[in-house]
Structure 1
């Protein structure tokens, strides 16, 4: 029995146990908090805490289920890899870090899971060991370090309360100055992990990792850690902090939706769609709908994992080609994979009665009922339209049209293990949304909207799909004659120049300044006034003394003569 099957089977068993435990805890409204004191020093106790409630157990079950399917899928996808066992163990460590983060109500144990995710994600992103992977890994690791430092600072501020267990304080200490600083630091940490503006550039760069890792990272682990942390800290966020988070979330959603419409890399399009959905979760969370954000987090994890698995099967079949312009007409070669791909894409768009519809439609309708500015409202609905636009553009390029790849190729649905891994996900992609809604919202939301606002989500989605199809038909990018249009499209494609700002912007000027300091101060004035000047002075002194020692008789005679002259002049 291979290591993949062992890991996959164990994760599946734990997932089922965790899911039914979560349902039981939800039914009886039960929360279990376990505390193990490790160290007590000067009234500060270092405690390992475990929080088991319906939220943590449900999320754990989803993480374990998705990782079990992804590891099973990896058995075939990574079959040619020399270090297969190392890869599976890294994925296991990644999942373990995420589980530690989920069950921790304590900032120190959260930091262990948080840092574990950052470290193992770096190892997984650089897995293929080429220049692109190294750059992407470094960008990922360094972007996430900002969040790690923010959590460390939050831990230092938590010392004001004498305990690191935030659950006891977030509600009662909401108005205190210390909690304002702690919640601001937690929001900063969540923004780096969930790749909100201005930390968005690492998310598409992390696509250098193997596709099973992308499937895991972008559905239920790394990027959702920030959202989950904010769901836990929801009660401590002040109104001003929430309004800032709302603006950043909507802008991230808008930027990612625009960027995906100009992208040609299959995995990067799906990565940008993840970024768009993270913006959606952040913004509904900042309006107080933390249960809605959690609901969308779970439904999104299902169809996004399947989307990446289908993309991986296509890339695998096409000899590792990721450019969607090489694809086309794949429905003829890979009918089953394309069917899965199509269904999960429709779930992403929010097609009625698929997983994505329930959470997305509910979020948009709650948004329509809320007291928000017209700007936020328009950006929200426009971004929803963009989601449908890039999805239909992707479907147009990949599934329909003419076959654009080599005439001699090995594209087929023959990967039986990969197909079984994807088939395990498809049932939940179709039925997961409705099932979760019945469980999480036993009392339905009462939504009272005018007829045209009720239809707004469907109209915007329909318009977005039509625009996406037209844009793909025109093949935007080839027919750009005007230089200004080309510049605009490049600006959108490069995520508003964010990758350049976070690489050249952070590296170029400090390096240039360092060179100036080195050449003008270190090798210039400081050398002239410091070491060289000191050396010259000592050299001149030693030369003078040497002159005295070598001519001491002459010096003595000259001094004697001068003394005699002095005596004659002044005494007589």
Structure 2
């Protein structure tokens, strides 16, 4: 415990140093690159590159401050766990791998941190060893492996050009390069159709969800696209525009029909990832990075508040059993509601400065009316599920009377207060320091007040939603399965591959599930293999038959 406190103090000091360095690099318009030659192979030079500019240092500072607060938070949240030391080692390894992805522009060094992110996130998801965690971990790692394959294909493709440094690459007209970059980013940031792993990863402990699945891991794909935006051509931007608007709309709709507290916040994260990808596809990558930083701060705060609610109510995650929690945990509810207002883009909170600027600049663009409708519907759904969450936790009747609320949570509250202060005032500070180039925004009065009209309409809709009949069997089934994504990821029990991979069938009862012809064929093969007259042809037949048996199994 003493070691973790020392690590936390050092991380906070490094966070301050990175932030000051980021300001200095921004003021002087400087960037530094360090190159270490590891070895040469013919005309290929394997170099380890470190690229330091204001963007990488700002992201490192954000990762450090969030990680340090979550480690303090975890000391109390995970205090009764037997494998607490193992948990902290995984968190530290995750932070190191995240820094590797941020500071290196070479695709060969990115793959090291990228693979470590996927592997450690899988180990953190299956930390609670039960069936749900194992299934969620499998969905997580399979989805992330697709992105890893895309990175490996990019490595093999860049070998043709003699360099793995993506900062100096200008292959923006190459379709394969664009496609691989987009797939790797979409898998990490959980864009459609790879969206299922993010809500499934909520089986992990709440500190993991706060660090990994809200502010760092899911933003790694967004950061990759922001860093290498010069490689994306116009056609790929159009694909990203459709995918991101579709993802944001789907996630906002899903969040309004869920009752699991962590999954609602997970779909909120997914909706904001779609908003960032939408902004990148409009070529405003600076604004996307601004929203990435502010979102990381208030969303990690939101997850930590939900962790206190879950921890204090005997691990209950159903929001229908909450209500009137301001009587029991006023400080937590104040921070929780302020983070929710940041998510809505309430004026003069940190989410307002990034989100309002994104909305206004998109109103200036000449976009497809369908895309803009989905964009504004996603924002309206964000306000709606935020009001719904605040109602069930703050305004609803107390349904938690039989449970004993455990309230002695000093370390958790300290970390929450620090993150709340940063998430409240950081947006205004960043606007003055870094993102002052977007001051001239020419929109009319109606467009300017349109976000406020959205908030008023959603409040009125929320107050009258109980009188509206929105329940339809097919409609509900479609929404709850994330627009049928569950059926893509889950095999049927009668599926051939399911039978072949299932432990129970393959080890104990697999013969019962084979038909009579397959069983007689297997008997003939076994008879040939056990025959005493073994010639070369029969030996060859033996190996062929073993191969066929494994294909059948």
- Structure 2 length as normaliser, TM-score? 0.90
In structure 2, what is the Cα distance between the partners aligned to 1:219 and 1:197? 17
CA shift in 2, pair 1:525/1:373, >3 Å: farther
Aligned twin of 2:285 = 290
The 5 A counterparts of 1:354-365 are 354-365=349-360
1:486 counterpart (473, 491, 505):
473
CA distance in structure 2 between the aligned counterparts of 1:315 and 1:383, rounded to whole angstroms: 28
Question: Which range is displaced more, 107-116 or 448-457?
Answer: 448-457
- Quick one: distance in 1 between partners of 2:493 and 2:10? 43
| Shift in alpha-carbon separation, 1:281–1:507, aligned structure 2, 3 A | farther
Q: Distance in 2 between matches of 1:320 and 1:529?
A: 56
| Preserved CA contact (<8 Å) 2:214 2:266 | no
Is the aligned partner of 1:453 residue 2:451?
no
- Following superposition, the deviation at residue 232 of structure 1 comes to 1.1
Partner of 2:323: 328
Which residue does the alignment assign to 1:319? 314
State which of 482, 486, 491 in structure 2 corresponds to 1:504: 491
In 2, Cα distance between equivalents of 1:428 and 1:324: 27
Q: Equivalent residues in 2 for 1:144-293 (5 A)? A: 144-169=144-169, 172-175=170-173, 177=174, 180-293=175-288
What do residues 442-489 of structure 1 show as CA deviations (whole Å, max 9, x unaligned)?
333421112212222221232223323443x56x8xx87x6xx13312
* 1:101 aligns to 2:101 (yes or no): yes
Query: Structure 1 residue 426: deviation in Å?
Result: 0.9
Query: 287-296 or 211-220: which moved more?
Result: 211-220
- Specify every segment of 5 or more residues in structure 1 that has no aligned partner in the other structure, as ranges: 540-572
Question: 1:201-237, CA deviations, whole angstroms, 9 ceiling, x for partnerless residues?
Answer: 1100100111011000133211000000001110110
Do the aligned residues in 1 keep the contact of 2:90 with 2:120 (CA within 8 Å)?
yes
- The RMSD of aligned alpha carbons is 2.4
* Cα offsets for 1:539-563 (capped at 9, x unmatched): 9xxxxxxxxxxxxxxxxxxxxxxxx
Q: Secondary structure of 1:35's partner?
A: strand
Q: 2:461 is matched with which residue? A: 467
Matched, 1:495 2:493: no
2:305 to 303, 310, 326: 310
Distance 1:158 1:529 in 2: 51
Q: Please say if residues 258 and 493 of structure 1, whose CA atoms lie closer than 8 Å, have aligned partners that are also in contact.
A: no
Q: Could you report, residue by residue, the CA deviation over 1:21-66 in whole angstroms, capped at 9, with x for unpaired residues?
A: 0110010010101110111011111111101000000000000000
**Greater CA drift, 36-45 or 336-345:** 36-45
Partners of 2:212 and 2:199 in 1: how far apart?
Answer: 12
CA distance in 2, matches of 1:327, 1:106: 48
The Cα of 1:279 is off from its aligned counterpart by 0.3
| Contact 1:307 1:341 (8 Å CA) reproduced | yes
**Structure 2 residue aligned with 1:40:** 40
Note if contact 1:388-1:468 (Cα within 8 Å) is conserved in structure 2: no
**Cα gap change, 1:10 to 1:373, in 2 (>3 Å):** same
Preserved CA contact (<8 Å) 2:238 2:281: yes
Q: How has the CA–CA distance of structure 1 residues 134 and 408 changed in structure 2, closer, same or farther, with 3 Å as cutoff?
A: closer
Secondary structure of the structure 2 residue equivalent to 1:166? coil
Distance 1:252 1:417, change over 3 A: same
Residues 393 and 469 of structure 1 are in contact (CA less than 8 Å); yes or no, is this contact kept in structure 2? no
2:416 is equivalent to residue 422 of structure 1: yes
Say which is worse superposed, 422-431 or 493-502, in terms of deviation: 493-502
State the Cα deviation string for residues 328-366 of structure 1 (Å, max 9, x = none): 000110000000000000000000010111111111111
Aligned equivalent of 1:405: 400
Bigger mean CA offset, 260-269 vs 401-410: 401-410
Contact 1:98 1:117 in 2 (8 A): yes
Q: Can you give the 5+ residue segments of structure 2 that lack an aligned partner in the other structure?
A: 502-509, 535-553
Structure-2 change in CA distance of 1:83 and 1:535 (3 Å): closer
Do 2:493 and 2:499's aligned partners in 1 also have CA atoms closer than 8 Å? no
Which position in structure 2 is the counterpart of 1:542?
Answer: none
Residue matched to 1:560? none
The whole-number CA distance in structure 1 between the counterparts of 2:356 and 2:292 is 14
Q: After superposition, give the CA deviation of every residue in 1:399-457 in whole Å (9 maximum; x if it has no partner).
A: 11211013341243x31110000001111121111111111223334211122122222
**Equivalences for 1:556-567 in 2 at 5 Å?**
none
d(CA) in 2 for partners of 1:496, 1:368: 28
Q: 1:419 to 1:496 in 2, by over 3 A?
A: same
Query: d(CA) in 1 for partners of 2:344 and 2:451?
Result: 11
Q: Could you report, residue by residue, the CA deviation over 1:43-97 in whole angstroms, capped at 9, with x for unpaired residues?
A: 1111111010000000000000000011111111111112212111110111111
| DSSP-derived class of the 2:405 partner | coil
Contact 1:260–1:493 under 8 Å retained in 2: no
- 1:337 has 2:363 as partner: no
**Residues 171 and 177, structure 2, Cα contact 8 Å, conserved in 1:** no
| Rg larger for | 1
Which residue number in structure 2 is paired with residue 550 of structure 1? none
Structure 1 stretch displaced more, 447-456 or 237-246:
447-456
